[in-house]
A and B are shown apart, each in its own frame.
Chain A
């Protein structure tokens, strides 16, 4: 699935990293616990989370996940957006709750990014 389709399906606002929108993504990981992202998430997946702080960007960066979607209308600060731009991370925000985001994306073919 193209990341531009993810944006459209979730009616999301793109805050940084628009250059990634033409890229394909195969899987997603939805979680507010960054410890679990670092433990269980595959790389090259979308990270969906309602947690908004700098450590979310660090977590995605260290885990080689280059796209983040903040759910429940959560908006990162300008400092976070600048940090995301500097790291070339795609960051979006959507009005949908985490459960709805996962359901919409899964129904359209995105798989879970669980390390097995």
Chain B
């Protein structure tokens, strides 16, 4: 069995941000994935979804369900990250006041995604976009 689900995430739409992660969590529950793995995927996916809403021009979350692993891809169409090492540093963020007032923008999103995934890859190009691929063993 192998299939994928794709969710669009809009920039700045904090009213619906979180819906994709919620649907991913419910899907994994229906598939009988363990709670431990579901929590990791849910947290990493939600951090990614919030990042798309906060920082990107809009993007997608793709969940691929395989026999031995789940692959979560977060990709956007820009603006791209100038310095990935800096962006991966806990506590570093470019988020504005509106985002911080919602309880986000603390600079913990990318490091937390990496902590929760069994494998984490990030690539980015200014003007083109950012792609994060996370793998979770089931």
Contacts and interface: CB of A to CB of B under 8 A. Distances in A.
Interface of A: 32-39, 43, 49, 51, 53-56, 58-59, 61-64, 87
A36 B21 contact: no
A55 B18 contact: yes
B68 interface: no
A63 B18 contact: no
Contact of A36 (B15, B17, B106): B106
Contacts of B112: 35, 38-39
A53 B101 CA distance: 10
B35 A34 contact: no
A64 B50 CA distance: 18
A53 B104 CA distance: 12
A36 to B, nearest CB: 6
A101 to B, nearest CB: 17
A33 B106 contact: yes
Contact of A62 (B14, B43, B111): B43
A64 to B, nearest CB: 5
Nearest to B106: A35
A54 B46 CA distance: 13
